[in-house]
Amino acid sequence: MGLKVCKFGGTSMADGQVMKKVKKIITSDKDRRFVVVSAPGKRYSGDIKVTDLLYKCYDEVANGLSCKEAFAKIRARFEGIVKELNLDFDIASILDETEERINKEKSADFTASRGEYLSAIIMSQLLGAKFIDCENVVFFNEHGVLDSNKTYKAINEALKGAELAVFPGFYGQDVNGKVKTFSRGGSDITGAIVAGAVNASLYENWTDVSGFLACDPRIVDNPKKIKSLSYKELRELSYMGANVLHSESIFPVRRANIPIKIKNTFRPEDEGTTILPIARYSPNGSIVTGIAGKKNFTVIFIEKSLMNSEIGFIRKVLSVLERFNIAVEHIPSGIDTMSVVVESSAVEGYKLDQILECIKFEVEPDIIRVTENVALVATVGHGMSSSVGTSARLFKVLADANINVKMIDQGSSELNIIVGVKNEECEKCISAIYHEFFS
């Protein structure tokens, strides 16, 4: 088929036994040549991910202490894995150097990145593959955004002559030469970057579920698996909380039309889910492809008579948010009303009051009101644009479930309908929509 890039997530790296499964998967297909790994994740419910332990290390360093105690747990975890795998290399000195550098660099990003760094070294030893440190091949520009030209060149340079290579996910180097991470779950992005750089025929993302499910399996028992979906649907669903794949991981592969396949490390024979550009995606006949939700938004509602004829009204409101450097998620609007939806964490504390004052000053609204603790639930699917009555069904089922809809936003692409509900009704809302369209 051609070159494949495989990314293995946290549960796939959790201990020596699973890493052996990973090795089996990689060596069973000679096209699987370039591997990206996450830090070891949870081995059982209640366990702590290595990345979370590393953030604890950083807390100690930031408080002027040495991270010796918190690092001891990480040391034990990695030493245990090396022992389980019977590998003959000096992990102790690598751990010593790592601990020393964490204490010296005093950087949250550097500290957090060490889980991927260490697990990639171990995986490369297990596979007899080249270890390529993303500190030297993944570059961010001055805005903190990936510098793809520089990155792709460096990756291809580092891969020259390598039959098999392992990259740590999650981090790269910023313009000051310091280690910088992506947001949480960012190893998916690294996998996509490597796939884009080598123009892979497929980006395989190996995780602990047998594909992308129609909704979060922690909310609905055994939801239907999605056989295939488009990049656009994936982007909508992952951005709205379906965190099986990081929402930014589609950009590097989309540029080169590389399909993504979600596979289960624990059930490699299962078919998984394929994610394709829209032109190659064949609708599976269902109206809705999937449902996802995300909590903790704040909605600023503004009403003013004749808002529509007041040229520049929306711009003035948005310019206030821009001045405060706040990203706007949605702007549902009516004739005399508009709402601005932002993440609550972005407007915490006094910031929200200041923003409201500035909006009042700029546009003199008749009413300005804030609703906090709002969850957004997105119902996504290309099938929705061609079928009549989808929104009627959706709102009826929410009314029947006694869920109060606080906001509605139908994307202009007709690919999604987003509703705002109370945080505590998020799961109930997802479950009601799921059962309406899938049962």
Binding site for Mg ion (CB under 5 A): 9, 185
Nearest alpha carbon to residue 26 among 6, 2, 12, 1: 6
> 118 vs 430, which CB is nearer to ligand ASP?
118
111 binds, among ligand ASP, ligand ADP, Mg ion, none (CB under 5 to 8 A by kind): none
**Least Cβ distance, residue 170 to ligand ASP (angstroms):** 4
Burial 222-245 (b: 16+ CB within 10 A, else e): ebebbebbbbbbbbbbbbbbbbbb
242 near ligand ADP, judged by CB under 6 A: yes
> 39 vs 61, which CB is nearer to ligand ADP?
39
Would you say 100 and 172 are in contact if contact means Cβ atoms under 8 Å apart?
no
> 168 vs 381, which CB is nearer to Mg ion?
168
Q: Which helix (H) or strand (E) holds 180?
A: strand 179-181
Would you say 414 and 321 are in contact if contact means Cβ atoms under 8 Å apart?
no
223 near ligand ASP, judged by CB under 6 A: no
> 9 vs 259, which CB is nearer to Mg ion?
9
Query: Structure tokens of 233?
Result: 């649907």
What is the C-alpha to C-alpha distance for residues 13 and 392, in angstroms, rounded to an integer? 45
**Least Cβ distance, residue 363 to ligand ASP (angstroms):** 40
Count Cβ atoms within 10 A of the Cβ of residue 162 and give its class: 0-12 exposed, 13-18 middle, 19 or more buried: middle
Residue from 202, 215, 287, 403 that binds ligand ADP (CB under 6 A)?
215
What is the three-class DSSP state of 411?
A: coil
Residue from 11, 12, 51, 228 that binds ligand ASP (CB under 6 A)?
51
Residue from 4, 33, 41, 117 that binds ligand ADP (CB under 6 A)?
41
239 binds, among ligand ASP, ligand ADP, Mg ion, none (CB under 5 to 8 A by kind): none
216 binds, among ligand ASP, Mg ion, ligand ADP, none (CB under 5 to 8 A by kind): ligand ADP
209 near ligand ADP, judged by CB under 6 A: yes
**Least Cβ distance, residue 268 to ligand ADP (angstroms):** 14
Query: Structure tokens of 297?
Result: 């938004």
What is the C-alpha to C-alpha distance for residues 360 and 210, in angstroms, rounded to an integer? 50
Give the nearest residue (CB) to ligand ADP: 9
51 binds, among ligand ASP, Mg ion, ligand ADP, none (CB under 5 to 8 A by kind): ligand ASP
What is the C-alpha to C-alpha distance for residues 373 and 59, in angstroms, rounded to an integer? 28
> 9 vs 365, which CB is nearer to ligand ADP?
9
**Least Cβ distance, residue 291 to ligand ASP (angstroms):** 23
Say how many Å lie between the first and final Cα of the chain, rounded. 37
**Backbone torsions φ then ψ of 432, nearest 5 degrees:** -65, -45
Residue from 4, 14, 35, 38 that binds ligand ASP (CB under 6 A)?
38
> 187 vs 390, which CB is nearer to ligand ADP?
187
> 7 vs 235, which CB is nearer to ligand ASP?
7
Residue from 8, 34, 167, 170 that binds ligand ASP (CB under 6 A)?
170
Give the nearest residue (CB) to ligand ASP: 187
286 near ligand ADP, judged by CB under 6 A: no
**Least Cβ distance, residue 417 to ligand ASP (angstroms):** 29
Count Cβ atoms within 10 A of the Cβ of residue 334 and give its class: 0-12 exposed, 13-18 middle, 19 or more buried: exposed
DSSP string for 70-128: HHHHHHHHHHHHHHHTT--S-HHHHHHHHHHHHHHH--HHHHHHHHHHHHHHHHHHHHT
**Least Cβ distance, residue 2 to ligand ASP (angstroms):** 25
Count Cβ atoms within 10 A of the Cβ of residue 420 and give its class: 0-12 exposed, 13-18 middle, 19 or more buried: buried
39 near ligand ASP, judged by CB under 6 A: yes
> 49 vs 422, which CB is nearer to ligand ASP?
49
**Which sign does the torsion angle of CA 383, 388, 393, 394 carry?**
positive
* Contact set for ligand ASP, span 178-197 (CB under 6 A): 184-188
By rule CB under 6 A, what count of residues binds ligand ADP? 18
**Least Cβ distance, residue 51 to ligand ASP (angstroms):** 4
CB atoms within 10 A of CB 390: 21
Residue from 207, 228, 249, 298 that binds ligand ADP (CB under 6 A)?
207
Extended beta strands in 186-272, E state: 202-207, 228-230, 260-264
